[in-house]
A and B are shown apart, each in its own frame.
Chain A
Amino acid sequence: MDDIIVKTITRLIVPFIQVYGIFVILHGHISPGGGFSGGAVLGSSMILFTLSFGLPMASRKIPHKVTSILETSGILWYIIIGLAGIYLGGKFLVNKEAGFFMGQAGELISAGIIPLLTLGIGIKVASTMITLFHTIIEED
């Protein structure tokens, strides 16, 4: 699609969508939202980019190899954090007993490992959305 209005609006609006997605991911433990919602918003921003600029341009921005590496590393990050809970506290994903920094409830840096887990889930969901869409619309 070669439309200057759609391209200009996309170029203006994609950074705001991505900032909102990162905000939802990073505030997952103190406000509504979390890894899944924020990752879906981040993935939708790249889907909008692909729809207006075409698949070759989007593949140059974020290649298929990069999205598959991000997808795998997101779930590996989750498992490594969980195993750190086993090593320090005795159970999978244990938080307070393992001695992680809890902080003051309601602040951004608090709640131990939950922001790190939410970050991993967000990266995983966003790259899964992008991979699904690129796989569906690519030409054989």
Chain B
Amino acid sequence: MLILNVILVIFLIICAVAVERTKDLLGAVIIFAAYSLIMAVLWLMLQAPDIALTEAAIGAGVTTILFIGVISRTRRMEK
């Protein structure tokens, strides 16, 4: 279980840095959805299943769709 925890946290940090470094905003939104999914699993391992449920529904679902809706209204690449 400790090995899985370490792998998840390392992947979480990689995702968080990659969101900040990516110039393509659509790619950044997709990486951010992966970040939210990892975060939901981590909440579940921290014995907080209600927060995990909310994170999986809001972070990985609704926020991603709202960001993609905003990107379709503006431009895709960061200046």
**Chain A interface (Cβ within 8 Å of chain B)?**
24, 32-34, 36-37, 40-41, 43-44, 47, 51, 129, 132-133, 136-137
Contacts and interface: CB of A to CB of B under 8 A. Distances in A.
B65 interface: yes
A133 B53 contact: no
Interface of B: 49-50, 53-54, 57-58, 61-62, 65-66, 69-70, 72-73
A47 B69 CA distance: 12
Contacts of A37: 50, 53-54, 57
Contact of B65 (A24, A33, A51): A51
B50 A40 contact: no
Nearest to A47: B65
A33 B49 CA distance: 8
B75 to A, nearest CB: 16
Contacts of B54: 36-37, 40
B58 A133 contact: no
Contact of B58 (A32, A40, A51, A137): A40
Contacts of B58: 40
A43 B61 CA distance: 10
A136 B62 contact: no
Contacts of A47: 61-62, 65
A22 to B, nearest CB: 14
B56 to A, nearest CB: 9
